[in-house]
Amino acid sequence: MKKPSLTQPVDTKTIILNEAVRLFAKHGYSDVSMRDIAEAVGIRAPALYNHFTDKQNLYLAAVSQAFAEKNQAFSELFSKGGTPAQQLEKFVYYLCESVGNDPDFRRLLQREVLDGDEARLRVLAKNVFEEQFLTITRLAKQLAPTCDAHMLTISIAGLVLHHFEFGPLRRFFPGSRAEHEDPKYIAKHVVNLLFNGLDGRNHKKRK
Partner DNA sequence: GACTCCTTAATTAACATTCATTAATATGAA
Partner DNA sequence: TTCATATTAATGAATGTTAATTAAGGAGTC
Q: By the criterion CB under 7 A, which residues form the site for DNA?
A: 5-7, 9-10, 12-13, 32-36, 38, 43-47, 49-51, 54-56
Judge contact between 104 and 66, C-beta under 8 A: yes
Interface contacts to a second copy, rule CB under 8 A: 27-28, 30-31, 88, 107, 110-116, 121-122, 124-126, 129-130, 133-134, 137, 140, 143-155, 157-159, 161-163, 165-166, 168-177, 180, 186, 189-190, 192-201, 204
168 binds, among DNA, a second copy, none (CB under 5 to 8 A by kind): a second copy
**Residue 132 to residue 163: CA distance in whole angstroms:** 20
- 80 vs 204, which CB is nearer to a second copy? 204
Nearer to a second copy, 31 or 54 (CB): 31
CB atoms within 10 A of CB 145: 8
DSSP per position, 123-169: HIIIIIIHHHHHHHHHHHHHH-TTS-HHHHHHHHHHHHHHHHHTHHH
Residue 51: contacted member of a second copy, DNA, none (CB under 5 to 8 Å, by partner type): DNA
Q: Shortest approach of DNA to residue 154 CB, angstroms?
A: 34
User: What is the spatial distance between Cα 136 and Cα 102, in angstroms, rounded to a whole number?
Assistant: 21
Shortest Cβ 11–DNA spacing (Å): 8
With CB cut-offs between 5 and 8 Å by kind, which of a second copy, DNA, none does residue 98 bind?
Answer: none
CB 161 within 8 A of CB 167: no
With CB cut-offs between 5 and 8 Å by kind, which of DNA, a second copy, none does residue 20 bind? none
CB 92 within 8 A of CB 34: no
Q: State the Cα–Cα distance between residues 198 and 176, nearest whole angstrom.
A: 20
47 binds, among a second copy, DNA, none (CB under 5 to 8 A by kind): DNA
